[in-house]
Structure 1
C-alpha cells in the first residue's frame, strides 16, 4: 500500500535500528507510552511482534511508513482492530526530521482509506494527550470529530494527563473524496 511519496508496509527485522532511533528522540516520545531512549533490543522485539500481526485480524497491527524515494523508515501507523472488525483505533508516530511536511497526513489517510474502503469499517477513533496539539490538529484535518475530553485520565511519565477523544465515521471519510 502506498501514496505518491510513501510506502506503507509490514515491518521487517532490518527496521529495528531506525525504530529505536526515532523512538529515542525525546520530542517524538513526549506524548507516547514509551520512554526515551528506546533501546535497540526493545525495538528488535517490537519489530518481531509487529511483523507477526495481521491487519485483517482483531488486535494491533503496525504499518511501517517508508519514504518511497529515500527508501528509509520514517515512522509508523498503528491500528487496533476491534473484535467486531467494524471499528478501530488509530495512532501514529513520525521521525522528527519528517514532521511538518505532510507525511503523517498522507500515511494516516492511506490507512484510513484501507480501513474504510477495503475493510469496510464503520468507525475509527483516535486518542491523544490534550497537550499534543499537532496530533489533535492532524486528526481534525483528516475529518475526525472531537468527541470528548477525559480529565486526568492517564498517569504517564509521572503525571496525570487529560486525553482528547476523536472519531471518524465511514460516511464522513467517503464524503471527503
Structure 2
C-alpha cells in the first residue's frame, strides 16, 4: 500500500486491474474531458496497467496510483502524478468511474496524494490543467486547495475541437495553511 485514507487505498496497479480500468475509461462520460478516447479496449487496458505498475512515485516522470475502495477492494479510478526532473514540482491528474463520482472519493484521493507530495516528498508546487467546461473537476481542485492561476483560450485541440484550459496551482506554503484550516480541530 502506498497511501491510505479512511475509505480508500492508493496503490500500484496490478494485472487484475485491467478489466476495471477498461470499463471506467471506456465510459464516454468519464473520457469526455480526458486525453484518451473511449472505448479503451481490454488489450489496451492490459498494456496500460503493465506500464502503470512499473512506475516509481519518487522518481521523475508519471506515476499512476490505482484508487481502490477499502470496503470491497473495487478499483474505482486513478490519480496520476508527473514529477518534474527537479523533484520540487509535479503535475496532477485524476479519473474516477462515473458510478463512484459525487461521493467525495476523488477529493479524498487527491488530498492524500497532495499530503504525500508536500509532507513526505517535500515538493514546492503542484499544478493541474482542467478543461474549462469541466466544472466539477475545477471545483474538486478548488476543494483541494488549488488556486486558479490563468486560462488559455482555445489552447488544446481535443476530440475535434479547440478547448479552453484552466491552469491551477498549489504552493506548499498555501497547502500547509489550507490543510491546517481544514483539519477537524483546526
TM category (shorter chain) comes to over 0.9
Partner of residue 176, structure 2: 174
- Secondary structure of 2:59's match? coil
| 1:125-176 Cα deviation digits (max 9, x unpaired) | 0001000000000001111010110111110100010000000000111112
Show the counterpart of 2:6: 4
Partner Cα separation in structure 1 for residue 83 and residue 93 of structure 2: 12
State the Cα RMSD in Å: 0.5
Alignment counterpart, residue 78 of structure 2, candidates 76, 79, 86: 76
State the TM-score, normalizing by the size of structure 2.
0.94
CA distance in 2, matches of 1:78, 1:169: 18
CA distance, structure 2, for counterparts of residue 170 and residue 3 of structure 1? 20
Partner residue of 1:91 out of 90, 93, 98: 93
Matching of residues 44-59 of structure 1 within 5 Å: 44-59=46-61
Q: Give the TM-score of the pair, scaled to structure 1.
A: 0.99
> In the alignment, what sits opposite 2:183?
none
How far apart are the structure 1 equivalents of 2:93 and 2:4?
18
Q: Which stretches in structure 2 are left out of the alignment for 5+ residues?
A: 181-186
Q: Spell out structure 1 runs of 4+ moving beyond 3 A.
A: none
Task: Pick one of 20, 42, 54 that aligns with 1:40.
Answer: 42
The equivalent of 2:111 in structure 1 is 109
Whole-angstrom distance in 2 between the partners of 1:23 and 1:164: 22
CA shift digits 1:46-105 (9 cap, x unpaired): 110001110000000000000001111000000000000000000000001110000000
1:17 equivalent to 2:53? Answer: no
CA–CA distance in structure 2, aligned partners of residues 132 and 49 of structure 1: 27
CA distance in 1, matches of 2:96, 2:80: 12
Other-structure match for 2:30: 28
Return the offset for 1:13. 0.6
SS at match of 1:45: helix
Distance of 1:153 and 1:3 partners within structure 2:
36
Structure 1: 5+ residue runs without aligned partners? none
